[in-house]
C-alpha cells in the first residue's frame, strides 16, 4: 500500500463508517480510484438522505437565521445539522453557521462533505475557524482538520495553523486530497511552523506522512521545505533530506 493509498483508505473508512482494517483488501487500488469511489459513495448517501430535507430547507428560507441557529444549537443534532447544511440556500446556511457555538461546529464538521459545504466553511469568521481547528486537533480528528485547512481562506489558514501544533498539521496535511491545497499551506505556514512539523515527523515517526505530502509539492515548495529542514538537528536533518532527495533538483 502506498502512502497516498493508505490516506485514501483512511478517508473511505470514515465515509463508510467502518474500521480501517476492514478495508485492507484495497491496498493495491490506486489512490485516485479510491478517492473517486469515496466521492461517489458520499454523493449516493447525500442524494438518498436529502429528499425530505430539501422541503424543510425551502421552508427555512422564511425563518430568520438567528432563530434557526438557536433551534439547531438547542437540539444538538450534529448529523441533522450537517445534512441541512448541504441543502440550505448558501447565504442562509452561512448566516446560521456563524451563530452556532464553536464546540457544536466541531461536532458538525466531521459530518460535512467538504465539497458541498466549502462555502459555509469559507464564510465562518477567522477566529471561529481557528477555535474549531484547535478542538479538532485536540480530538485528533486529522481528516476533518485537513478538510478544514483546504477549504478556508488564506487569512484563516494563518490563524488556524497558529492555533495547533506541528504534529497536528503534518497529520492533517497527509490527509489533504489536492496538491494545490498542500502547496498553499506550505506557502502560508511560517518557516518556524514548518520546522515544528518536521520535528514532529522525527519525534513521532511520521515519515510516511511527510513523504506523502512531499509527493504533491512543486519544486519551489520543496525548496521552501528544504530551507526549514536545514534548521533541524543533524540526526533529523539527514533523514528529512534523504526523503526529499528524489523530489528536489540538485
Cα-trace Rg, the chain: 19
The dihedral region occupied by 153, where left means phi > 0, alpha psi between -120 and 50, and beta the remainder, is: beta
pTM for the full model?
0.84
Compute the average pLDDT of residues 171-182.
Answer: 91
Whether 125 shows a pLDDT value over 70: the answer reads yes
Tell me what pLDDT residue 95 has: 83
CA dihedral 27, 183, 191, 105 (to 10 degrees): -80
More confident residue, 99 or 159: 159
The 10 Å Cβ neighbour count of residue 198 is: 24
Amino acid at each position: 500500500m502506498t502512502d497516498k493509498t493508505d490516506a485514501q483508505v483512511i478517508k473511505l473508512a470514515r465515509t463508510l463508517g467502518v474500521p480501517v482494517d476492514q478495508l485492507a483488501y484495497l491496498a493495491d487500488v490506486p489512490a485516485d480510484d479510491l478517492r473517486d469511489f469515496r466521492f461517489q459513495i458520499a454523493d449516493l448517501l447525500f442524494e438518498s438522505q436529502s429528499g425530505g430535507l430539501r422541503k424543510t430547507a425551502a421552508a427555512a428560507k422564511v425563518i430568520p437565521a438567528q432563530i434557526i441557529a438557536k433551534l439547531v444549537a438547542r437540539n444538538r443534532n450534529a448529523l441533522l445539522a450537517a445534512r441541512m447544511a448541504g441543502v440550505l440556500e448558501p447565504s442562509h446556511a452561512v448566516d446560521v453557521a456563524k451563530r452556532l457555538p464553536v464546540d457544536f461546529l466541531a461536532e458538525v464538521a466531521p459530518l460535512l462533505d467538504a465539497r458541498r459545504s466549502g462555502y459555509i466553511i469559507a464564510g465562518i469568521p477567522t477566529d471561529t475557524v481557528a477555535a474549531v481547528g484547535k478542538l479538532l486537533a485536540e480530538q485528533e480528528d486529522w481528516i476533518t482538520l485537513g478538510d478544514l485547512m483546504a477549504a478556508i481562506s488564506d487569512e484563516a489558514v494563518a490563524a488556524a495553523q497558529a492555533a495547533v501544533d506541528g504534529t497536528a498539521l503534518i497529520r492533517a496535511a497527509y490527509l489533504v486530497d489536492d496538491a494545490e491545497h498542500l502547496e498553499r499551506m506550505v506557502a502560508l505556514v511560517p518557516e518556524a511552523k514548518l520546522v515544528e512539523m518536521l520535528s514532529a515527523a522525527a519525534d513521532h515517526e511520521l515519515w510516511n506522512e511527510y513523504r506523502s505530502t512531499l509527493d504533491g509539492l512543486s519544486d519551489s515548495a520543496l525548496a521552501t521545505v528544504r530551507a526549514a529542514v536545514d534548521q533541524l538537528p543533524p540526526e533529523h536533518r539527514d533523514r528529512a533530506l534523504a526523503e526529499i532527495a528524489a523530489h528536489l533538483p540538485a
